[in-house]
Chain A
Amino acid sequence: MKLIKKEKTNLISTSDPIFNLVTNILLILILIIAIYPLYFVVIASLSDPDAVNSGSMLLYPVNPKGKLLNFEGYQRVFKNHRIWLGYYNTISYTFFGTLIGLIATILAGYSLSRKDLMGKKIITTIFVFTMYFSGGLIPRYMVVDQLGLMNTPLIMILLGSVSVYNIIIAKSFFQNTIPQELQDAAFIDGCGNGFFFLKVVIPLSKSIIAVLALYYAVGHWNSFFTALIYLNNEKLYPLQLILRDILIASQMLVSDVTDMESIGDAQRIAESLKYAVIIVSTLPVLIMYPFLQRYFVKGVMIGSVKG
């Protein structure tokens, strides 16, 4: 298999010099377009606000003489207790939400993957239907209200904790990795469904567990909608809602930069602070990303296998 692939790449690289040149130039362009905005945020967060605002900082962090990097933005972010509270809230919502979602998803995905599940078609339809049709915003809002979940951490944890799409990913994974013969053999030995699941299936499913945990965790981490609709107690706000206030509504001006001499100064600082805020809030995902990328990709692959 590997040999064939090598041959293929050889074939590809031999002919068509103009074609190769064009694709390679396009590739470099794509790379720049993908990376530069992210890189810009990083260097802007480490530069003097004036340099950023004047547009003289484009390729590397720019600071007044004697200073290589400017951590002032970060220092201000770390002093902001709203961000810390948001961080804490988001971490706890993400942790519990992911845990619940993961358990529900793995169990349901496994169950739906078994051939001997009677009524599988109906059950699958019940699941998949919700992907394409929903009651809508207000009816769901009323249900949450009726359950008394409004303005509670529980709604942040529960809502979005189970995704049918992820259940389907889990289902196709189990279909392909846990063959019926294995189950039959175990059952002949007197093993039941529950025991088989715990002792045989789970140890074989570490990769899918990692994939789903990542999907759910990123989903919870980036979730903004649920908090917008169901929370109005600031103490419960997740990071994303606080980010919205800072990045989009520019609310930091009032609360954090009161010690500045002039409004102009305050605005100058607030603008550059935003870059540091972006980095701090995206850091967990950014740090994890290079190591876990293959799991994310794996999830797409499993999900794309139909049935």
Chain B
Amino acid sequence: MNTNTNQLQKTTSSISVSMEKKPSTTIWKKISRNYVLYLFLLPALVYLIIFDYWPMYGIQISFKDFSAINGIWNSPWVGFKHFTTFFQSYRFWTLMKNTLVLSGYQLIAGFPIPIILAIILNYSTMKKISKFAQTATYAPHFISTVVMVGMLILFLSPSNGVINKLLSYINLGPYFFMGEESYFKHIYVWSGIWQNAGWNSIIYIAVLTNVSPELHEAAVVDGASKLKRIWHIDIPALLPTAIILLIMQLGRIMNIGFEKVLLMQNNLNLNTAEVISTYTYKVGLLNAQYSYSTAIGLFNNIINFTLLIIVNKIARRISDTSLW
């Protein structure tokens, strides 16, 4: 069908060259009748071409020795030199480990909590407080990363942070939380959960309120306890949504939030706080090693993309839910 129309289009377009005018196939008719719709696409498309597709042309410098004098096109090819340099550098495994530990931890701790939160909000018998708690837990989502990290530094300060003051009442501390490399991942992940768990629970709450009440009524008639109802009715209802979200998070597993990590870094915690994205920034913009930085970025990107495709395939096979 498609090839047929394509052929048709080809032949008719060659005809229309010779005969001019005469609106030929239905395809052209459809396109020209809806030319306004294509105009509508233009602004967004121009944006994407300039800021997303045009930069992809520059990816080639990861296989070249870029110099500003030669420009992108004329810089000499060097094959996989920058990739092997990266793989062989002593930083490689630390960076990989830090990135994976941080995002893996975030995924494992951050994924179930919004679901649990949604269930608690849904089942609480104090409806008014529950409504208020919803609003309150969404709020931190809108705090900027800079303010979030600023709050962490204030609260966790060893000299006058409130956390250390509270700990001192039970004769603990003071701890220099932000400067201790082993604490970094915990602070990063749990502050992230504080900020986003409420927001991420919105979808789950919506799913729960859409569960057919008859199911619950039938379960109650059969004498099922609330825990049983959660396990046999609510959890299965939440599963498809949860899988889609999991896929999306897995696809971003190497894309740990650059801003927050960078802002939380200091000289003391850098051993565990340097991740691939912050490293590409430092190598690329602060040290101006354009090719090397682009190579690291590309490596990161490819892993992400492959992961997304694999996870999506698995999800489709086991549960019929997938991104595409």
Q: Residues of A at under 8 Å CB distance from B?
A: 4-5, 7-9, 11-13, 15-16, 19-20, 23-24, 26-28, 30-31, 33-35, 37-38, 40-41, 52-55, 58, 100, 103-105, 107-108, 110-112, 114, 116-119, 123, 126-127, 130, 132-143, 147, 158-159, 161-162, 164, 167, 192-194, 197, 218, 221-222, 224-225, 229, 240, 243-244, 246-248, 271, 274-275, 278, 281-282, 285-286, 289-290, 293, 296-297, 300-301, 304, 306
Contact = CB atoms under 8 A, between A and B. Distances in A.
Contacts of B226: 12, 15-16, 19
A281 B146 CA distance: 11
B137 A30 contact: yes
Contacts of B121: 27
Given A34-B139, A111-B38, A135-B58, A304 B203 contact: yes
B271 interface: no
B194 A34 contact: yes
A164 B48 contact: yes
A143 B48 contact: no
Interface string B234-270: 0000000100100000010000001100010000000
B146 A244 contact: yes
A243 B146 contact: yes
Given A33-B194, A136-B301, A141-B284, A285 B142 contact: yes
Contacts of A141: 284-285
Given A126-B48, A244-B146, A27 B133 contact: yes
A105 B40 CA distance: 9
Contact of A116 (B34, B126, B146, B305): B34
Contacts of A139: 55-59, 61, 294
Given A111-B41, A282-B143, A159 B51 contact: yes
A91 to B, nearest CB: 15
A4 B55 CA distance: 54
Nearest to A21: B125
A143 B305 CA distance: 23
Given A27-B124, A118-B34, A281-B147, A8 B160 contact: no
A178 to B, nearest CB: 13
A287 B160 CA distance: 29
A193 to B, nearest CB: 4
28 contacts: A15-B220, A23-B125, A30-B133, A34-B139, A37-B155, A41-B151, A52-B160, A58-B162, A103-B43, A108-B43, A110-B37, A117-B37, A118-B31, A130-B48, A135-B52, A135-B59, A138-B58, A142-B72, A143-B58, A158-B47, A161-B47, A197-B40, A222-B146, A224-B144, A240-B144, A248-B153, A281-B147, A304-B241
Contacts of A140: 51, 55, 58
Contacts, number: 286
Contacts of B34: 114, 116-118, 193
Nearest to B168: A55
A205 B52 CA distance: 28
B127 interface: yes
A172 to B, nearest CB: 14
Contacts of A27: 120-121, 124, 126, 129-130, 133
B103 interface: no
Given A278-B150, A281-B147, A290-B135, 6 more contacts: A34-B137, A37-B140, A136-B294, A193-B36, A247-B149, A304-B206
Given A240-B146, A247-B146, A54 B284 contact: no
B290 interface: yes
| Main DSSP-derived SS at the A contact region | helix
B120 A30 contact: yes
A167 B44 contact: yes
B310 interface: no
Nearest to B157: A271
B138 interface: yes
A101 to B, nearest CB: 9
A26 to B, nearest CB: 5
A127 B41 CA distance: 10
A286 B139 CA distance: 8
Contact of A143 (B30, B55, B297): B55
Interface string B196-231: 001100110010010001001100100001110000
Contacts of B59: 135-136, 139
B298 interface: yes
Nearest to A194: B36
B44 A34 contact: no
A221 B144 contact: yes
Nearest to B227: A19
Given A30-B133, A111-B37, A243 B144 contact: yes
A248 B251 contact: no
A104 B120 contact: no
A274 B55 CA distance: 39
A245 to B, nearest CB: 10
A301 B213 contact: no
Report the 9 A-B pairs with minimum CB-CB distance, sorted nearest first: A55-B165, A139-B58, A135-B55, A247-B150, A136-B297, A222-B144, A193-B36, A108-B44, A53-B160
Contacts of B90: none
A282 B251 contact: no
